[in-house]
Amino acid sequence: MYRKEVNAQSPLRILERSIHGGLGRGNLGVVMARAGVGKTAFLVQVGLDDLMRERDVLHIGIGKNLEHTQSWYDALFDDLARDVGLEDKEQVKASIAKRRVIQAFTEREFSIEKVEKAVTLYSQHLEMSPAAILVDGYEWEGRSVVKIAADLGALRAMAARMNAELWMTAQTHRELVPHHPTKIPEPCVPYAELIDVAVYLEPHGHLVSVRLLKDHDNPKIEETHLELEPDTMQLVTDAAAVTPAKLPPSAHTLLSGAANGAEAEFGAMAEQWGLSEINFSFVGRTTARERGVVELTDAELKQGEVNSAYIEAQLHRQFPNTPTFRKMLQTIWHQVVTSGQVFVVGLIQEDGTVRGGTGWAAELGRHFGKPVHVFDQEKKGWFTWEGNEWKSEPAPTISRSRFTGTGTRFLSDEGRAAVRELFERSFGPVPTKKH
C-alpha cells in the first residue's frame, strides 16, 4: 500500500466530510479533551495526514521538549505503516522528516513574538510553507481573556498570511463539561467566536469517540460517527493490528486512587518515569499522594454506582455498607472504565476473586473485557485472566496509554519490586533528570 491509499483511509477524511470539506486555510480548529485522552495523538495524526500528502507542517509544542514530540511522530508513523503494510515506508519517513519542523517552548518561553520570529526564520532559510500549524499545550487559563484572545487572533492572522490551517489543543475539566457535550465547553467558551471548528474527544468504553461541537457557521452540526483507537487516534477496524504503538513514557497516564500501599507505589513510579497521573478521590478523603488528585463530584461518583448485592455476589463476600466505602468502590469504576489495561497487586483467592476492596478493579476489568494482570504477593508471580481462569504469565508490560494501577494497602517487598520492575520493563531505566 502506498501513501495515497493510506491517506484515503485516514480518520481526517471522515471528519472533513462531517465539516463539509475540512477546516480551511486561515481557520482555527481546536481539539478538546480531558487530560490523557488523546489530544496530542490527534494533533500528530493531523500533522501526519498533511505530511504524507507532501505538505509542510510546523508543530509547536508548549511545555513539551522536542524529543517528546518527535517520539510521538515516530511512534504513530511506525504504527500506521505497520498496520497498513506501507510499501514505501522508508521513503515516506524521509520525506516526512524533511517537511516537518518541530519548535519546542517552555511555558515561560512561549510568546506570539517568538513564534512569529521562528516562522520567519523557517520560511527564509528552509523555504518552508506550512499547510498546517499545530499548537499543542497552549494554556487557555491563568491569564486575562483579552490577552488570550489577542494570542488567538495573532495566530489566526499568521495562519491566514501563510495560507495554513491552524489546529490547537485545549484541556477541559470533567467538573465543567457535561456528559456528551453539544457546545464548546470551558475553558474555551470566551473564545467561541474565534474558533471555526471544535472537536471533543470523549472516552467511550475501549474507544474514543469524536464529537463535533462547532462547524464554522453551520447551525446543524452533523455526527461524525468516528471511533478511534485511544492510543494512536487511528480508525478502529476489524482488520486493525492489535500490536500497540511504542509510545514515549510521557504519553502514558496512570489511573489510580493514591491510597497507601500499591496505589502510592504506582504513583511514585509514574512520577519517576515522567508519566501523567490521575488519582480519583472525593471530598473528605485523605490520599497518600497529592499529584494528579481529582475529587469527583456526587454526580460523577454515581456514574460508578453498582448495586451492593451485585458486588457481594461477584466478589463472594460482604463489604461495609457505609457511604465512604461505597464512594471508594465508585472511584474504582472511574479508574477502570477508560483504561486500556488493569494492573493489581494483591492475592488471588481460591474462588478466583482478588482479596480486598481493590479486587473490584480486577472484577470490573474482567467485566469490561480489558486485559487484567494481577501480581499475587503470596505466589510471587503475575497472573492474567484468560477465558474462565487465572493463568500464570510472563512478566507483563504497560502497552496502553491509559492504564489502571491499584492493589493492596499491605504492600510486600515483592509487591513493591514487581511494580518497579513493571515500569522498568515497559519504559527502560528510570530517566536521569536534566539540570
pLDDT tens digits, residue range 34-60? 877 889 989 999 999 899 888 999 999
Are residues 193 and 342 both part of a single domain?
Answer: no
pTM for this predicted structure: 0.69
Residue 243 lies in a domain: no
Residue 247 lies in a domain: no
Work out the number of other CB atoms within 10 angstroms of the CB of residue 280: 26
Domain harbouring 143, CATH code: 3.40.50.300
Quick one: which H or E segment has residue 110?
none
Span 139-165, mean pLDDT? 94
Strands (E), 244-295: 253-256, 276-281, 293-295
For the ranges 119-133, 194-208, 241-255, the lowest mean pLDDT is seen at 241-255
Spatial distance between the Cα atoms of 124 and 127, rounded to a whole number of angstroms: 5
Are residues 211 and 265 both part of a single domain?
Answer: no
Rounded to the nearest integer, the mean pLDDT of the chain is: 85
Q: Model confidence over 220-247: pLDDT tens digits?
A: 888 887 888 877 787 765 444 445 567 7
Are residues 319 and 265 both part of a single domain?
Answer: yes
Are residues 112 and 146 both part of a single domain?
Answer: yes
Residue 265 lies in a domain: yes
Tell whether the model's pLDDT for residue 17 goes beyond 80: no
Alpha carbon 45 to chain centroid, angstroms: 13
Spatial distance between the Cα atoms of 33 and 344, rounded to a whole number of angstroms: 27
Tell whether the model's pLDDT for residue 24 goes beyond 80: yes
Are residues 80 and 136 both part of a single domain?
Answer: yes
Which residues, 6 or more positions from 78, have their beta carbon under 8 angstroms from its beta carbon?
245, 246
Are residues 374 and 258 both part of a single domain?
Answer: yes
Domain harbouring 355, CATH code: 3.40.50.450
What is the predicted pLDDT for the residue at 310? 46
Are residues 210 and 284 both part of a single domain?
Answer: no
What is the residue whose three cell numbers read 490520599? 287
Strand-pairing partners, residue 30, are 168, 198
Residue 133 lies in a domain: yes
Q: Identify the domain containing residue 183 by its residue range.
A: 3-228
DSSP 198-218: EEEEEEETTEEEEEEEEETT-
Tell whether the model's pLDDT for residue 173 goes beyond 90: no
The 3-state DSSP class for residue 391 equals: strand
Number of domains in the chain: 2
Residue 235 lies in a domain: no
Spatial distance between the Cα atoms of 222 and 48, rounded to a whole number of angstroms: 25
Of the three residues 192, 212, 228, the one that is the final residue of a domain is 228
Span 213-226, mean pLDDT? 87
The answer to whether 375 and 418 are in contact (CB under 8 A) is yes
Work out the number of other CB atoms within 10 angstroms of the CB of residue 207: 15
Q: How many CA atoms lie within 13 A of 106 on its CB side?
A: 2
Work out the number of other CB atoms within 10 angstroms of the CB of residue 121: 13
Are residues 166 and 19 both part of a single domain?
Answer: yes
The rounded percent of the chain whose pLDDT value lies above 90 is 47
What is the predicted pLDDT for the residue at 204? 74
Q: Model confidence over 116-129: pLDDT tens digits?
A: 988 888 888 878 88
From residue 266, how far is each of 261, 262, 277, 429 by CA, in Å?
A: 9, 6, 9, 16
Sheet with 293-295, edge to edge strand ranges: 293-295, 276-281, 253-256, 402-407, 341-346, 372-376, 381-386, 389-392
Residue 242 lies in a domain: no
For the ranges 137-141, 240-244, 364-368, the lowest mean pLDDT is seen at 240-244
Residue 62 lies in a domain: yes
Instruction: Grade residue 314 by pLDDT with cuts at 50, 70 and 90.
Output: low
Are residues 90 and 202 both part of a single domain?
Answer: yes
Residue 246 lies in a domain: no
Are residues 58 and 12 both part of a single domain?
Answer: yes
The rounded percent of the chain whose pLDDT value lies above 70 is 90
Tell whether the model's pLDDT for residue 313 goes beyond 70: no
Tell whether the model's pLDDT for residue 261 goes beyond 70: yes
The answer to whether 293 and 316 are in contact (CB under 8 A) is no
Are residues 289 and 380 both part of a single domain?
Answer: yes
Instruction: Grade residue 82 by pLDDT with cuts at 50, 70 and 90.
Output: confident
Tell whether the model's pLDDT for residue 312 goes beyond 70: no
Strands (E), 226-275: 226-228, 253-256
**Can you state the angle between helices 359-367 and 308-315, rounded to 10 degrees?**
90
Quick one: which H or E segment has residue 327?
helix 323-337
Tell whether the model's pLDDT for residue 74 goes beyond 80: yes
Are residues 257 and 224 both part of a single domain?
Answer: no
Tell whether the model's pLDDT for residue 169 goes beyond 90: yes
